[in-house]
Copies of this chain bind each other. A is one copy, B any other.
Amino acid sequence: MRLVVARCQIDYAGRLTAHLPMATRVLMIKADGSVLVHSDGGSYKPLNWMSPPCKLREGVSDEGVVEWTVTSPKTDDTLRIVLEEVLHDTFHDLGVDPGLQKDGVEKHLQELLADHPATLADGLTLVRREYPTAIGPVDLLCRDADGLSVAVEVKRRGDIDGVEQLTRYLELLNRDPLLSSKGQVRGIFAAQEIKPQARVLATDRGIACAVVDYDALRGLDDPSHRLF
């Protein structure tokens, strides 16, 4: 990884053309030859970049101006960087990164709860995941110990929208005699964190709230499992 801070102007030509006027910026040159141009703002997206695979060629023009040309052998995109003044130029050996471990997305939570519905309420068993309705799939459709249907809406962060969503599902499900013949379909709003407003609304509508302990749930899935 090479880090360069320099006054530069940049031209990109590829699927579109783009130009960056002369200014001071950070140039990040990765081991695979890819180049990122960052300013002191914006978000994680660079002002301009070249994706790997690509090759950087350093040249000097007739007027003695340093100019980098980054080219992609596959897409024939090119990035031309004219360096007016180099303020910083260092190289760092980073080695290979072990990579990111992601976790806690709604889908994974849903999978875990589908495997362990009893953690939401005693005696609860799964009928099916993504139970289809006219207005969209219910995350989990379950049955309780008395054989009554229970609809579960899973969210990572439970806010008011999720309660509204579950309410709509419950209205619909309760019109289905196959599900509601033995008694009303109940709702459980399951999330890692439930916002106070959402809890009030849910309680008001007779919907139970379940705060999900993600780590404990993973422990059930695999007792020897450790987070990292």
A residues in contact (CB < 8 Å) with B: 1, 3, 5, 11, 13, 15-21, 23-26, 28, 30-32, 34, 36, 38-49, 51-52, 87-88, 90, 92-105, 156-157, 227-228
Contacts and interface: CB of A to CB of B under 8 A. Distances in A.
Contact of A39 (B90, B94, B157): B94
A18 B103 contact: yes
A103 B21 contact: no
A31 B21 contact: no
Contact of A98 (B21, B93, B94, B100): B21
Given A11-B228, A31-B41, A228-B11, A20 B100 contact: yes
Contact of A104 (B15, B36, B44, B156): B15
6 contacts: A1-B26, A3-B5, A5-B92, A16-B156, A17-B102, A18-B102
Nearest to A51: B43
Contact of A34 (B43, B46, B88): B43
The 10 closest A-B pairs by CB, nearest first: A39-B97, A16-B104, A40-B94, A17-B104, A31-B40, A44-B49, A17-B103, A19-B101, A24-B94, A21-B98
B97 A23 contact: yes
Nearest to A24: B94
A97 to B, nearest CB: 4
A102 B21 CA distance: 12
Contacts of A102: 16-18
A17 B151 CA distance: 26
Contacts of A17: 102-104, 227
B11 A156 contact: no
Nearest to A28: B38
Contacts of A228: 11, 19, 21
Nearest to A52: B43
Contacts of A15: 104, 156-157
Contacts of A51: 43-44
Contacts of A1: 5, 26, 38, 40
Nearest to A35: B44
